A and B are shown apart, each in its own frame.
Chain A
Amino acid sequence: MKILTVALNTFREAIRDRILYLLLFFAAICIAFSRFLALLTVGDRIKIVKDVGLASISLFGMLMAILIGTGLVYKEIDKKTIFTVIAKPIHRYQFLLGKYLGLVLTLLVMIVLMSLIFLVLIFVHTLTIEWKLLIAIFFIFIELCILTAVAILFSCFSTPILSSLYSLAFYLIGHLSWSMETLIKKVKPGIGKTLLQILYTFLPDLENFNFKTEVVHNLPLPSEIYLHSFLYGLFYSLFLLALAMIIFHRKDFV
């Protein structure tokens, strides 16, 4: 209940942030732009629209998560609004979870808006609603949940600019780490291989949430993969949030 109160308040704060609308505006432009890009290409034009559209939703969702997420907790401490909240009967972890959920809620609303624009554009083109695209979008959202947790974790102990850089690094590593799998296969068994494997387990693998190609090209996928990705996202977020809570728990707000 208290978590929900903080979440709704956070949502109210985030939704009144101008950056959000700026990003939403650019996302809309990018999605619409894909239509013109399609005109310039030969072949299956609708695939280009879908490709660019999904990529835009993913990119701008990421920017929203990082730019707003890194500021949220930091601002509370910097502007000292947290003082009166801490003096109220609420646990610190409840406060942090509330912040997290509020931001996730904000991102959900934004994703829904971008998807609407996207689906309408596709509908105008093909006169069908492509429900399959929603699978890809759902996993983009799961990825954003992880990114939000990262942003909040970093913003517990550093400034928004640094946190944004760290979060961006996390994002890039997350999308490149799958190549380590190939590397591990090539390395001879031994200590080196074990270390690489341990590292690989802890590094994020955000490609787990990338179903764009499969969805756009209608490739078949076993349903366990979806479940696996979903659980991976859930536990990775929980792991990051737990870390953030531990840091937050004994922090002096000065």
Chain B
Amino acid sequence: MSTVLDVNNLHKAFTTGFIPQKKKILKGITLKVEKGEIFGYLGPNGAGKTTTLKCILGIIFPDEGEIRLFGLPNTSLQAKEKIGFLPENPYFYEYLTAAEFLRFYAQLFGLSRETKEKKINHLLQLVGLERASTVQLRKFSRGMLQRIGLAQALINDPLLVFLDEPLGGLDPIGRKEMRDIILRLREEGKTVFLCSHILQDIEMVCDRVAIIVDGKILNQGKLQDLVSEKILFYEIVVSDVPASSFKGLGECLAEDGGRLLLKVTAEENIKEIMKIVLNQNGRIHSLTPRTATLEDLFVHLVRQR
């Protein structure tokens, strides 16, 4: 495995306000992304995900710290030849049509005419916009912009793709398509750096995640390691039994139309509860073991701050 992205102790402060004041946004970000993985960069709103990306892409300059792409400084053109970037809110030249837009970026990579047109057609098809190729981007919907943004990010067959909130603004089918494309990129041996505050997106596709809260990385590692398989508690739904019968065995979380939702931590209490239900001619509707999810970890980390 080789490291494709190496970020070391990144610091960045913005000066804001009428009376200029320094506000620290990134407080020492260190992370490594290996070739061929889908790396999830997860954090609540305003944590500094987009700011980190902007530093990596050379849109802003960090106050401190070092960034290397494929072992090269992040501002070198050689490194930029191999990356793709989808910004968080797709902001593009609205006066261009979809095809013109992609052609412009293809030219920045110096693609030859033939490969260019072939690539553009292929990408328009991939993101499902072949019928909109002659429409000006100002007439695009939010989701369509997201799609053309992805096409733009893939125009040079990048080895490393940065996606900032790639599923934002997409309908359910679009989300599934986007996920499929991300997974296909991995199959092709590409590396994906995916920023999101939406857990399910990350959980479904990422191999490794880093959790950033308030400009610091709080946890980083393989998804399976972060989210233990250990069962935390069981959720049992029963009916036709009064809540008072389960005193001391489990916590009653909700009561709705004669149904009770019980949270049970100790496994041996489950048998006890079943006996009570059977004895009183009640019914058991479900019994679900709950493992720790990324969400639990996330909420836990954010709460700690």
**Interface of A with B (CB < 8 Å)?**
1-2, 5-6, 9, 12-13, 16, 79-91, 250, 252-254
> B109–A89 contact, CB under 8 A?
yes
Interface stretch (choices B100-108, B250-258, B260-268)? B100-108
18 contacts between A and B (CB under 8 A): A2-B108, A9-B104, A12-B95, A82-B59, A83-B59, A83-B91, A84-B85, A84-B92, A84-B105, A87-B162, A88-B80, A88-B108, A88-B109, A89-B81, A91-B77, A252-B61, A253-B59, A253-B60
Is there an interface contact between A86 and B93, defined as CB atoms closer than 8 Å? no
Indicate if B65 sits at the interface (CB-CB under 8 A): no
Q: Is the CB of A85 within 8 A of B108?
A: yes
Q: Given contacts A1-B107, A9-B93, A83-B91, list 15 more A-B pairs with CB under 8 A.
A: A1-B110, A2-B107, A5-B107, A80-B89, A81-B91, A81-B92, A85-B108, A87-B57, A87-B83, A87-B85, A88-B80, A89-B77, A90-B80, A253-B54, A254-B14
Q: How large is the interface on B (under 10, 10 to 19, 20 to 34, 35 or more residues)?
A: 20 to 34
Chain A hits for B81, CB < 8 A: 89
- Is B43 in contact with chain A by the CB < 8 A criterion? no
Knowing A1-B110, A250-B61, A252-B60, say if A88 contacts B92 (CB, 8 Å): no
Partner of A254, one of B60, B91, B92, B162: B60
Question: Is the CB–CB distance between A81 and B93 below 8 Å?
Answer: yes
Verify if B87 is at the interface (C-beta below 8 Å from A): yes
Note all chain A residues with C-beta closer than 8 A to B105: 84, 88
C-alpha gap A250/B61 in the complex (Å) = 7
A252–B96 Cα gap in the complex (Å)? 26
Residues of A within 8 A of B110 (CB): 1-2
Report the minimal beta-carbon distance from A80 to chain B, rounded to whole angstroms.
Answer: 4
| Chain B residues packing against A (C-beta within 8 Å) | 14, 54, 57-61, 77-78, 80-81, 83-85, 87, 89, 91-93, 95-96, 100, 104-105, 107-110, 149, 152, 162
Whether B91 lies near A79 (C-beta < 8 A) is yes
Say whether B107 contacts A87, CB under 8 Å. Answer: no
Chain B contact residues: helix, strand, loop or mixed: mixed
A83 close to B60 (CB less than 8 A): no
Q: Which residue of A lies closest to B62 (CB)?
A: A252
How far, in whole Å, are A2 and B89 apart by their CA atoms in the complex?
A: 25
With both chains docked as a complex, state the minimum distance between the C-beta of A7 and any C-beta of chain B, in angstroms: 11
What residues of A have a CB within 8 angstroms of the CB of B87 in the complex? 80, 83-84
Q: How far is B59's CA from A94's CA once the two chains are assembled, in angstroms?
A: 15
Q: Which residue of B lies closest to A9 (CB)?
A: B104
Q: Which residue of A lies closest to B104 (CB)?
A: A9
With a cutoff of 8 Å between Cβ atoms, the chain A residues found around residue B85 in the complex are: 83-84, 87
- Other-chain contact of A5, B58, B80, B108 (Cβ < 8 Å): B108
**Chain A CB within 10 Å, residue with most, of B91, B96, B108:** B108
Q: Which residues of B contact A91 (CB under 8 A)?
A: 77
Closest A-B pairs by Cβ, 10 of them: A80-B91, A252-B60, A87-B85, A89-B77, A89-B80, A5-B107, A87-B57, A88-B108, A16-B95, A89-B81
CB-based nearest A residue for B14: A254
A85 vs B107: C-alpha distance when bound (angstroms)? 11
Instruction: Report A-chain residues with C-beta under 8 Å of the C-beta of B108.
Output: 2, 5-6, 85, 88-90
Interface centre among A12, A85, A86, A87 (most CB of B within 10 A): A87
In the complex, what residue of chain B is closest to A253 when comparing beta carbons? B59
Per the bound structure, the CA–CA distance linking A81 and B78 in Å amounts to 22
A91–B81 Cα distance when bound, in Å, is: 12
